[in-house]
């Protein structure tokens, strides 16, 4: 399966600060990156989809100005949670995609805690 590296695995930040999460696709070129959020004891919910070199598409209810996604290369995408608040505390997970390849592998996830 695909090798996906996500960092950091966990982060604690103060309210009002910003946090950047990185997702690297180590063994294939990720033309697409999917970012998910998972609250405790809930399923994964897609937040946004980005294609390399273009703007991300956000799911309904997800604030694009709060969750900034950069997908400048085929191996790296970043999610920045801006002006974080306690309600942003969650588990964030990336999933790279490539063209017609349908196998879906995830990063290890980032546990964000905003205090």
Partner 1 sequence: GENVEQHPSTLSVQEGDSAVIKCTYSDSASNYFPWYKQELGKGPQLIIDIRSNVGEKKDQRIAVTLNKTAKHFSLHITETQPEDSAVYFCAAIQGAQKLVFGQGTRLTINP
d(CA 49, CA 36): 9
- 76-81: strand order across its sheet: 4-7, 19-25, 76-81, 67-70
Structure tokens at 42: 């809930």
- Range 39-58, binding partner 1 (CB under 8 A): 42-46, 49
- Smallest gap from residue 53 Cβ to partner 1 (A): 17
- Range 6-25, binding partner 1 (CB under 8 A): 6
CB 112 within 8 A of CB 38: no
Q: Which is nearer to partner 1, 34 or 67 (CB)?
A: 34
- Report the interface residues with partner 1, using CB under 8 A: 1, 6, 32, 34, 42-46, 49, 93, 95, 97, 100, 102-109, 111
């Amino acid at each position: 399966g695909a090798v996906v590296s996500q960092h950091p695995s966990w982060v604690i930040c103060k309210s009002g600060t910003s946090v950047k999460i990185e997702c690297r696709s180590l063994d294939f070129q990720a033309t697409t990156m999917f970012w998910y959020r998972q609250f405790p004891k809930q399923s994964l919910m897609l937040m946004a989809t980005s294609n390399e070199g273009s703007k991300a598409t956000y799911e309904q209810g997800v604030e694009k100005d709060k969750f900034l996604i950069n997908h400048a290369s085929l191996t790296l995408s970043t999610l920045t949670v801006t002006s974080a608040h306690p309600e942003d505390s969650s588990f964030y997970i990336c999933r790279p995609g490539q063209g017609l390849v349908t196998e879906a592998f995830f990063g290890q996830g980032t546990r964000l805690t905003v205090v």
